[in-house]
Amino acid sequence: MGFYNDVVLPRLLDMAMRNKELVGYRRRVVGAAQGRVLEIGIGSGLNLPFYGPGAAEIIGLEPSQALIAMASRRARESDRAVSFLPGSAEAILLDTRSVDTVLITWTMCSIPKPEIALAEMRRVLKPGGSLLFVEHGRAPDPWVARLQDWLTPAWKTFSGGCHLNRPMADLIGKAGFQVVDLHTGYARGPRPFTFMYEGFAREA
Ligand SMILES: C[S@@+](CC[C@H](N)C(=O)[O-])C[C@H]1O[C@@H](n2cnc3c(N)ncnc32)[C@H](O)[C@@H]1O
């Protein structure tokens, strides 16, 4: 799995995440980031062009060195101040209450322990700070959810650990956040892969 995970998967993720269907979500969610921003799973840096003037500093947390290299190239091409934090969302090497915004886009599905990662996001957010998110996850239609449960064990083995069936809003709420704004619905594409949760949350 070394060559696949280190070389092939980062390129596949970059290609898949360049999907034009995702641009509207990125524009709305990333554009709302303010102040010192921690982006969880920055990937190949595809959100960078969507940050607005309110994002003063961007810290990109990312476990994959290959994706950090791609995001660094995109950061150099933009005029944004970006620094990178290699590592996992389950152990964020930042001080408690040190960021204004945590941004997460299509990453919670791949984090092995999302409950621990969300507790870490809550820890690093300043009081009154926002968790901005857009994630795909568990669909409300029973037949789609059943298909998501059935597909996930095979799908996650070659997609970098992606779970299709996580109830994203419930996970965020159970981690001690209040979901202030939530929009859900299917994007274009096969239903098990495209049920989106978009919104923002604050400490409850
Ligand atoms: C589908 S990609 C999304 C990338 C990017 N957020 C975007 O919107 O294009 C999933 C990302 O989650 C990252 N990831 C996987 N496990 C992680 C973890 N434990 N902590 C933080 N990021 C993780 C992957 O390396 C990858 O960059």
DSSP string, the chain: -HHIIIIIHHHHHHHHHT-GGGHHHHHHHHTT--EEEEEET-TTSTTGGG--TTEEEEEEEES-HHHHHHHHHHHHHS---EEEEES-TTS--S-TT-EEEEEEES-GGG-S-HHHHHHHHHHHEEEEEEEEEEEE---SSHHHHHHHHHHHHHHHHHTTS--S---HHHHHHHTTEEEEEEEEEE-SS-GGG-EEEEEEEEE-
pLDDT at 53: 95
pLDDT at 118: 98
63 Cβ closer than 6 Å to some ligand 1 atom: yes
pLDDT at 80: 84
Consecutive 10-residue averages of pLDDT for the chain (204 residues):
88 96 98 98 98 97 97 91 96 98 98 98 98 98 98 96 98 98 98 98 92
Query: Which of 107, 132, 163, 194 has most ligand 1 atoms within 8 Å of its beta carbon, as the pocket-test mutant?
Result: 107
61 C-alpha to center of ligand 1: Å?
9
Q: Indicate which residue's Cα is closest to atom 23 of ligand 1.
A: 41
- pTM value? 0.97
pLDDT at 1: 56
